[in-house]
């Protein structure tokens, strides 16, 4: 079935819809990484661009006139997996996850049809780090990117998960599949695998009815998932796909088109409200000390040139992971938050470091204590510390995929307190979080395409975290995206946090 771009976001929603945490760390044997974490110090580690939410022709439609329903190849997304990998490579992507979604007995479709195509794509595009995964029809929630570690058993691993737990896989429908208890069972199963997968909640507030009025995904669910399997359920899409919803096939702007397919409450600067609002849901999670990361994806089904609402993987949005170019290290980087995201190729490198500066001779050893994105900085507890933050980013002096050369106009340093587990698990605010400093080009040092910002946080005497964002706009905060907005004019990047713990 060929999709019409005007109807695609609603059609996709319709098809898919039918379709032991402590303040000191995590249980289940999973420990948050510190500045000594192995992945970020590897000599060959680099910022690798990727996309963990890409659909192929095995995101099928369904002929419901048969019993059971018959899958229709290309019924929802239309491209072969090899085509997706080739296009991703052409747009500068180093790694990609093939994530087809399900339906009645779709576990067999993935195993017998999609997986052989993944193997072919790996041969056809050998320098692409291609993961096998799926867009899980999440029990009692919306959808999630499920990323399977690359092993000889990867196809059977996904088949076992999808056939046992995916809410849309049974035929006839089993209502018990679409329950929170089934999701907890799913996570318990996955976390105990010899090589656990990684799970990100997709487009988490797409079904929200208004500002802070949640739909299928709720703060309570995210906390439950992260408590159950902190080594598996590690975050959410900060910026969803379908960002080309306002672009016509000829490149003109459709005044009725929207970014992300967010019908009830729009995206903000292209980002989901759960991550875009300072002091919002994301900061509430971080304020508990949770290692809850954000990403950015294409959710590619049908490219805008072919009448869809999507960019190719890497054409507009990129998730950068600091890692060696191997399946194992990229997955480790995603699991442990060595990640920043950007739209429109606004930047292509971002290093943030926090260094404690001890105040007394007794704590002079803290002078060398440093942490980077996704890590935890330990600082002296007795007298606290000043912490020097260094932000270094690369603003490439080249045209992006729209032919523009966007420039970073401002960078914001955001800080919040870590106050421990919330009593009300529906909490979606952190009132301690705010922008502590804003920097324009007069406040950074430039060396070619690299910009460096240095800022000192004085008297850090409480567990806290920092994160960084930047934009090419003049907006102090990302505003609600109106219909008909050109996504290339409204670009942002976000880092994941660095935690600061008093020891």
- If asked whether residues 98 and 148 sit together in one domain, one would say yes
- If asked whether residues 327 and 358 sit together in one domain, one would say no
pLDDT of residue 344: 98
In the predicted structure, residue 235 carries a pLDDT above the cut 90? yes
How far apart are the C-alpha atoms of 413 and 465, rounded to whole Å? 11
- If asked whether residues 221 and 357 sit together in one domain, one would say no
How far apart are the C-alpha atoms of 36 and 491, rounded to whole Å? 33
Q: Which residue has the tokens 């490149």?
A: 251
How far apart are the C-alpha atoms of 119 and 82, rounded to whole Å? 9
296 within some domain: yes
19 within some domain: no
Whether 367 and 356 have beta carbons less than 8 Å apart is answered as yes
β 293-296/317-323 pair status: unpaired
180-191 and 219-228 helices, crossing angle to 10°: 30
- If asked whether residues 388 and 319 sit together in one domain, one would say no
CATH of the domain at 465: 2.60.40
pLDDT of residue 98: 98
Rg (CA), the chain: 22
In the predicted structure, residue 39 carries a pLDDT above the cut 80? no
Estimate the share of the chain in helix, then strand, then coil, as percent rounded to the nearest 5. 25, 30, 45
Final residue belonging to a domain, choices 343, 359, 375? 343
CB-count exposure of residue 448 (10 Å: 0-12, 13-18, 19+): exposed
Whether 105 and 137 have beta carbons less than 8 Å apart is answered as no
Residues 437, 442, 444, 448, Cα dihedral to 10°:
150
In the predicted structure, residue 107 carries a pLDDT above the cut 60? yes
- The more confidently predicted of residues 258 and 363 is 258
pLDDT of residue 383: 67
Q: What percent of the chain has pLDDT over 90?
A: 87
How far apart are the C-alpha atoms of 297 and 452, rounded to whole Å? 27
- If asked whether residues 289 and 355 sit together in one domain, one would say no
- If asked whether residues 332 and 416 sit together in one domain, one would say no
Average the pLDDT over each of 181-190, 235-244, 266-275, 365-374 and give the range with the smallest value.
365-374
3 within some domain: no
β 450-460/464-471 pair status: unpaired
22 within some domain: no
Number of domains in the chain: 2
Helix (H, G, I), strand (E, B) or coil at 277: coil
Q: Which helix (H) or strand (E) holds 470?
A: strand 464-471
In the predicted structure, residue 369 carries a pLDDT above the cut 90? no
CB-count exposure of residue 479 (10 Å: 0-12, 13-18, 19+): middle
- Per-residue buried b or exposed e for 386-400, using 16+ beta carbons within 10 Å of the residue's own CB: ebebebbbbbeeeeb
Mean pLDDT throughout 352-381? 78
pLDDT of residue 368: 56
452 within some domain: yes
- If asked whether residues 323 and 441 sit together in one domain, one would say no
312 within some domain: yes
94 within some domain: yes
User: Largest alpha-carbon pair distance within the chain?
Assistant: 78
C-alpha distance from residue 441 to each of 340, 449, 451, 453, 467 (Å): 21, 12, 9, 9, 19
172: preceding bond cis by omega (within 30 degrees):
yes
Mean pLDDT throughout 413-422? 98
- Least Cα distance to 339 among 143, 129, 50 occurs for 50
Average the pLDDT over each of 29-38, 182-191, 318-327 and give the range with the smallest value.
29-38
In the predicted structure, residue 4 carries a pLDDT above the cut 70? no
Mean pLDDT throughout 138-158? 98
CATH of the domain at 134: 3.20.20.140
How far apart are the C-alpha atoms of 306 and 57, rounded to whole Å? 14
Using a cut of 0.85, tell me whether the model's pTM lies above it: yes
- If asked whether residues 278 and 393 sit together in one domain, one would say no
How far apart are the C-alpha atoms of 317 and 243, rounded to whole Å? 9
How far apart are the C-alpha atoms of 343 and 338, rounded to whole Å? 18
How far apart are the C-alpha atoms of 126 and 112, rounded to whole Å? 22
Q: What is the mean pLDDT of the chain?
A: 91
CB-count exposure of residue 368 (10 Å: 0-12, 13-18, 19+): exposed
Would you place residue 25 in the very low, low, confident or very high pLDDT band (cuts 50, 70, 90)?
Answer: very low
pLDDT of residue 17: 34
Helix (H, G, I), strand (E, B) or coil at 116: helix
- If asked whether residues 176 and 322 sit together in one domain, one would say yes
Q: Which helix (H) or strand (E) holds 355?
A: strand 349-358
Q: Which helix (H) or strand (E) holds 14?
A: helix 8-18
Its domain, for residue 495, covers 349-502
- Least Cα distance to 54 among 292, 373, 303 occurs for 303
Mean pLDDT throughout 2-26? 36
Give pLDDT tens digits for 77-105: 999 999 999 999 999 999 999 999 999 99
In the predicted structure, residue 20 carries a pLDDT above the cut 60? no
How far apart are the C-alpha atoms of 269 and 360, rounded to whole Å? 44
Residues 190, 326, 391, 478, Cα dihedral to 10°:
-50
- If asked whether residues 470 and 358 sit together in one domain, one would say yes
Final residue belonging to a domain, choices 326, 343, 360? 343
Eight-class DSSP state of 69 = P
pLDDT of residue 360: 53
- If asked whether residues 154 and 107 sit together in one domain, one would say yes
Give pLDDT tens digits for 280-339: 999 999 999 999 999 999 999 999 999 999 999 999 999 999 999 999 999 999 999 999
Final residue belonging to a domain, choices 297, 328, 343? 343
Mean pLDDT throughout 5-24? 35
Whether 485 and 246 have beta carbons less than 8 Å apart is answered as yes
Helix (H, G, I), strand (E, B) or coil at 369: coil
- If asked whether residues 111 and 162 sit together in one domain, one would say yes
Strand partners, 339: 321
Average the pLDDT over each of 21-25, 192-196, 443-447, 462-466 and give the range with the smallest value.
21-25
43 within some domain: no
In the predicted structure, residue 109 carries a pLDDT above the cut 90? yes
């Amino acid at each position: 079935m060929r999709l019409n771009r005007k109807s695609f976001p609603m059609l996709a929603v319709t098809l898919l819809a039918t379709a032991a945490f402590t303040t000191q760390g995590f249980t289940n044997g999973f420990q948050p990484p510190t500045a000594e974490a192995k992945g970020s110090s590897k000599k060959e580690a680099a910022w690798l661009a990727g996309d963990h939410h890409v659909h192929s022709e095995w995101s099928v439609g369904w002929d419901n006139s048969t019993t059971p329903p018959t899958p229709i190849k290309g019924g929802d997304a239309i491209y072969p997996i090899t085509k997706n990998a080739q296009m991703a490579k052409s747009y500068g992507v180093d790694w990609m996850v093939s994530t087809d979604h399900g339906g009645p007995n779709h576990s067999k479709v993935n195993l017998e049809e999609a997986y052989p195509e993944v193997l072919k794509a790996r041969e056809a595009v050998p320098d692409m780090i291609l993961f096998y995964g799926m867009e899980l029809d999440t029990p009692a929630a919306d959808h999630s990117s499920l990323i399977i570690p690359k092993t000889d058993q990867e196809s059977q691993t996904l088949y076992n998960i999808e056939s046992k737990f995916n809410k849309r896989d049974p035929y006839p429908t089993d209502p018990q599949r679409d329950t929170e208890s089934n999701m907890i069972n799913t996570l318990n199963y996955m976390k105990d695998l010899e090589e656990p997968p990684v799970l990100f909640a997709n487009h988490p507030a797409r079904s929200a009815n208004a500002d802070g009025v949640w739909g299928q995904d709720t703060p309570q669910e995210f906390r439950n998932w992260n408590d159950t399997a902190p080594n598996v359920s590690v975050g959410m899409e900060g910026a969803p796909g379908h960002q080309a919803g306002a672009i016509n096939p000829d490149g003109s702007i459709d005044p009725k088109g929207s970014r992300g397919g967010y019908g009830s409450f729009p995206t903000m600067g292209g980002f989901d409200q759960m991550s875009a609002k300072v002091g919002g849901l994301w900061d509430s999670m971080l304020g508990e000390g949770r290692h809850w990361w954000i990403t950015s994806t294409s959710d590619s089904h049908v490219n805008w040139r072919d009448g869809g609402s999507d960019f190719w993987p890497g054409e507009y949005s990129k998730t950068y992971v600091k890692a060696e170019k191997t399946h194992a290290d990229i997955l480790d980087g995603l699991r442990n938050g060595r990640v920043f995201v950007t739209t429109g190729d606004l930047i292509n490198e971002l290093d943030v470091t926090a260094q404690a500066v001890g105040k007394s001779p007794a704590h002079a050893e803290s002078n060398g204590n440093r942490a980077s994105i996704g890590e935890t900085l330990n600082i002296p507890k007795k007298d606290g510390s000043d912490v020097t933050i260094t932000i270094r980013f690369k603003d490439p002096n080249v045209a992006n995929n729209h032919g523009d050369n966007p420039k970073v106009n401002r960078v914001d340093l955001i800080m919040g307190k870590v106050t421990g587990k919330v009593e009300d698990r529906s909490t979606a605010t952190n009132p301690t979080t705010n922008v502590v400093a804003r920097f324009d080009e007069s406040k950074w040092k430039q060396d070619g395409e690299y910009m460096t910002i240095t800022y000192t946080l004085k008297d850090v005497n409480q567990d806290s975290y920092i994160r960084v964002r930047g934009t090419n706009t003049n907006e102090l905060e990302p505003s609600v995206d109106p219909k008909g907005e050109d996504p290339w004019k409204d670009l942002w990047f976000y880092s994941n946090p660095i935690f600061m713990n008093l020891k």
